[in-house]
């Protein structure tokens, strides 16, 4: 059978999608042992996990980008889950990092605006998960800053205020939330979760993956595997199984 004919006979295969939207902690999540890679492995043959992490970005920039990633006419109906994971850059100290800093009230408004936009294109609240920034290990991040000729430009207490704002937005908007800042500090020495005081270590990636999967598993468990298991394909008439 010609490929064009097979395509005409068969229904278009559309993989559902999980969209990971965030800053560098999301962008790096497909690295070896990353939390995004973990999700992609768990969801193979069920849906695509799409990495839209953009290193260095804050919510002021992200809210402008989001409508270019998801529109009602092209893609919203295939979205089964979206993570919105910003705050590590927004919470940078204004006097030391004015380019990335976003004031706390604007950060909350930007998150709320992104959730409202998703709802407007029919991505319902139950498919949205907000993730707070992780805690900041100041001494390790200060070393990373000094190595670049900069001063310590973030502090954990300030990051915590942004995390609390993220939790509040989720409560007001009816979405799920993963309060990484609080959960990681239940273990008093949280430094092992971070590679440089800000970004996640292998242990931090594993921790986030497990926490996120516990929230996604129920949402996505009913998704069928796409295409039949190879032993179930009728080898004498594969068209009957695959088209």
CATH number at residue 97: 3.40.50.1110
pLDDT at 108: 98
d(CA 235, CA 135): 54
pLDDT at 229: 87
Give the residue among 30, 71, 54, 17 at the shortest CA–CA distance from 216. 17
pLDDT at 203: 96
**Number of domains the chain contains:** 1
Note if 48 is an active site residue: no
pLDDT at 189: 87
pLDDT at 3: 61
CA within 13 Å, CB half, 126: 4
d(CA 74, CA 91): 33
Per-residue pLDDT of the chain (243 residues; tens, 9 = 90+): 566 565 556 678 888 999 999 999 999 999 999 999 999 999 999 999 999 999 999 999 999 999 999 987 666 778 999 999 999 999 999 999 999 999 999 999 999 999 999 999 999 999 999 999 999 999 998 899 899 999 989 999 999 999 999 999 999 999 999 999 999 999 778 999 999 999 999 999 999 999 999 999 988 878 888 888 889 998 999 988 888
pLDDT at 79: 92
233: in domain: no
99: in domain: yes
Q: Which residues pair with 178 in a beta bridge?
A: 131
Domain of 191 in residue numbering reads as: 17-219
pLDDT at 110: 98
The helix/strand/coil state of 108 is helix
d(CA 17, CA 80): 6
11: in domain: no
Predicted TM-score of the model (pTM): 0.92
240: in domain: no
Catalytic residue among 24, 78, 191, 201: 24
- Asked if 121 and 59 count as a contact pair (C-beta separation under 8 A), the reply is no
pLDDT at 188: 74
Catalytic residue among 75, 196, 201, 206: 196
Note if 29 is an active site residue: no
227: left (phi over 0), alpha (psi -120 to 50) or beta: left
pLDDT at 54: 97
Note if 196 is an active site residue: yes
109: in domain: yes
CA within 13 Å, CB half, 94: 3
5: in domain: no
pLDDT at 40: 95
191: in domain: yes
53: in domain: yes
Interacting residues of 7 by C-beta distance below 8 A, sequence separation 6+: none
DSSP 235: T
């Amino acid at each position: 059978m010609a490929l064009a004919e097979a395509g005409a006979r068969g229904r278009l295969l559309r993989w559902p999608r999980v969209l990971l939207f965030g800053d560098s902690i999301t962008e790096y999540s497909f690295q070896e042992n990353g939390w995004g890679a973990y999700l992609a492995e768990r969801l193979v043959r069920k849906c695509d996990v799409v990495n839209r992490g953009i290193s260095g970005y804050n919510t002021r920039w992200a809210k402008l980008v989001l409508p270019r990633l998801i529109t009602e006419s092209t893609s919203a109906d295939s979205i089964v889950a979206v993570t919105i994971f910003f705050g590590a850059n927004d919470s940078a100290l204004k006097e030391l990092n004015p380019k990335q800093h976003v004031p706390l009230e604007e950060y909350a408004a930007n998150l709320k605006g992104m959730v409202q936009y998703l709802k407007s294109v029919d991505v319902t609240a139950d498919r949205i998960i907000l993730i707070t920034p992780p805690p900041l290990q100041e001494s390790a991040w200060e070393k990373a800053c000094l190595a670049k000729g900069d001063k310590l430009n973030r502090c954990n207490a300030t990051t915590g205020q942004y995390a609390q704002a993220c939790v509040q937005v989720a409560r007001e908007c009816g979405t799920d939330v993963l309060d990484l800042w609080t959960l990681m500090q239940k273990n008093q020495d949280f430094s092992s979760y971070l590679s440089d005081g800000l970004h996640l270590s292998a242990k931090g990636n594993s921790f986030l993956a497990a926490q996120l999967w516990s929230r996604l598993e129920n949402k996505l468990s009913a998704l069928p595997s796409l295409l039949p298991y190879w032993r179930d394909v009728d080898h004498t008439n594969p068209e009957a199984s695959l088209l």
